[in-house]
Structure 1
Amino acid sequence: MRFTPRRRSPSSDEAAQSDIVIEFREVGLTYPGPPPVAALHPCDLVVRRGEYITVVGPSGSGKSTFLNIAGLLDNPTTGTYRMDGIDTASLSDAGRTALRGQRIGFVFQAFHLLPHRSALENVLLATLYRKDLPRHERRVRAENALRTVGLGHRLHAVPTRLSGGERQRVAIARALVARPSLLLCDEPTGNLDSATADTVLALLDTLHSQGMTILLITHDPAVSARGRRTVVIRDGMLEDPSHEVITA
């Protein structure tokens, strides 16, 4: 089954920038002290629809902070972050949660699956914010997402009966089921052997070829090379060799 990312219909004032998924303008995050700690220095970044970007940097460099801001898990203390043209600072906590649930899919190193729920039930949990979908449609989408990642025959298996690669594919299916604008991956192959990691990375390649926008954090140069563009974070400073300025 082919995966098709959900498209939003831009309003007239967003039409010119409708292909931009992420826009950071001087976005940074400083934790209060004493002394204050700049986890991410103010930076600019533009991610266009359909890009596959890898984010690299040493441990403690600010990669997780960057991902948490992009995923609407943390609020920046400076700058403006627009997601699909929406100024995220204008949203309430409930609005941020809804936007995250509807338009961002997460894939983590540790899978984060509920151990006593089936693969299908784990994927269905990600449809909770799709109140517009009937229960039957949610189930159909969850089953189709699992078939997309090659697990149509494992719908009712619990995570403890799945291999590491299968668990990560369930996690990817969970991230895809809401048809998000953006897939955020945090070291998605960190807990996998090389052969299984290649299978997962090949799946991400396929999703990208079908139009999915992917932002992947890794410390592995071989994984980083799978992306079409690489962003480096060192000491809380983002370095984007293809820096693009968006005019108002």
Structure 2
Amino acid sequence: MSTPTTAASPVIEFRDVSLTYPGPPPVPALRSTQLAVGQGDYVTVVGPSGSGKSTFLNIAGLIDAPTAGQYLLDGIDIGRLKDAERTSLRGSRIGFVFQSFHLLPHRSALENVLLAMVYNASVPRAERSDRARDALVRVGLGQRVDALPTRLSGGERQRVAIARALVARPSLLLCDEPTGNLDTATADSILRLLDGLHADGMTIVVITHDVLVAARGRRTISIRDGVLSEDAQVGA
């Protein structure tokens, strides 16, 4: 891989990054964007459906490549990487949490977390079980490691998903509507868990349409018609 991580490097750095889907006519999904997310930041990205939130998430998460501009993750220029290198970087440095928990129903909580490391060469095989148990303890599920997802509440399933995202000890946690399938009280418990992870130094980016969720971040960025703007009034 190219540029090594330095202590001064932002975790996410967009330099005039944009993504346009080919036409005809071409469709600009994310317009030219400058953005830096520093180590230990807690950033929420809010906007209506179709605003470009998913495009932003896919670029930040190394799922889609921008059509213009430069994206650096931990100081590494993504555009210089081969596909296999991008996949390896995504697996080792980014944890994903989604609205739908994406757990295998016939695998225990522990096994679901372990699966996150199957293709991750950065975690030695001998350490994986202990890592998975530690991750479940960190999210408050130390007594539920053997439970199947079908025996877990919605909040517990999301905690398993967060443990799975944390197990490789990534530098970035990307959350896409992490409370969208939860009732108010359970959603608040998940947000408090994210608050705790942030307090421990985790860099977190949460994609949401919910202004109450967005308010939990230290920085809020609004997106509309593919344009990001910081410090705008959320929901305006």
Alpha-carbon distance, 1:16 to partner:
6.6
CA positional deviation for 1:219: 1.0
| Structure 2 CA distance for aligned equivalents of residues 16 and 166 of structure 1 | 35
C-alpha deviations, 1:183-234, integer Å up to 9, x for none?
0000000000001001100000000000000000111111111100000100
Q: Partner of 1:139 in structure 2? A: 129
Cα RMSD of the aligned pairs, angstroms, is: 1.4
83, 86, 92: which one aligns with 2:76: 86
Shift of 1:132: 4.5
Q: Aligned equivalents of 1:206 and 1:186: distance in 2?
A: 18
Structure 2's unaligned 5+ residue stretches are none
Q: Which amino acid aligns with 1:220?
A: D
Query: Structure 1 pair 42/132, CA: closer, same or farther in 2 (3 Å)?
Result: closer
Distance in 1, matches of 2:44 and 2:124, equals 36
Distance in 1 between the 2:183 and 2:6 partners?
44
Q: Tell me the equivalent position of 1:17.
A: 8
Contact 1:102–1:129 (CA<8 Å) still a contact in 2?
no
With the length of structure 2 as denominator, give the TM-score of the two structures: 0.94
Alignment of 1:26-41 (within 5 A): 26-41=16-31
CA distance in 2, matches of 1:133, 1:214: 22
Q: CA 1:233–1:132 in structure 2 vs 1: closer, same or farther (change >3 Å)?
A: closer
CA contact (8 A) 1:45 1:240 kept: no
2:182 alignment counterpart: 192
Pairing of 1:208-247 with structure 2 (within 5 A)? 208-241=198-231
Aligned letter for 1:48? G
Shift of 1:136: 3.0
Normalized against structure 1, the TM-score is what? 0.90
Aligned length: 230
Query: Is 1:205 equivalent to 2:195 in the alignment?
Result: yes
What residue number does 1:156 align with? 146
